[in-house]
Amino acid sequence: MEAFWDKLLTFFNTPLGIMILSAIVVSLGGKKLLEKPYWKKYEGAIKSSVKKAEKDVPGDAKNTSEMKQSAALLNTIKLWKVKHNGKEPSVKIISSFDEGVRITHDDLESKGRLRK
């Protein structure tokens, strides 16, 4: 049995073996790596929600950043529900939107596109 593994490792150390191994890895995992996150489909709605939350939440409130994050996420979910006839989003979708809100907020803030 040990001889089998030695031959297999020797084969995968050749250019052909590396090419085959690379093809297997790309075919199994490449699609997932190239896939856009779900929230990207709703990037416009998320941008609007972040900007709305920035205006609606007062700056002197406690936990301002958390409140803005929560408001933007809730508004994004509300917009998603309207598009999907009142259907409740799954935890996976909500998690994706949460990620999208955080990334979009940071992006808008770094570009100076948020009014304070």
User: Which whole-number Å values give the CA distances from 116 to 44, 56, 72, 112, in the listed order?
Assistant: 20, 10, 15, 10
Q: What is the pTM of this model?
A: 0.70
* Amino acid 116: pLDDT: 58
CA distance 28 to 18: 15
pLDDT band, residue 52 (cuts 50/70/90): very high
Give the residue extent of every domain in the chain: 2-35, 39-110
User: Which whole-number Å values give the CA distances from 31 to 24, 41, 89, in the listed order?
Assistant: 12, 18, 24
Under DSSP, is residue 57 helix (H, G, I), strand (E, B) or coil? coil
pLDDT tens digits along 34-51: 678 899 999 999 999 999
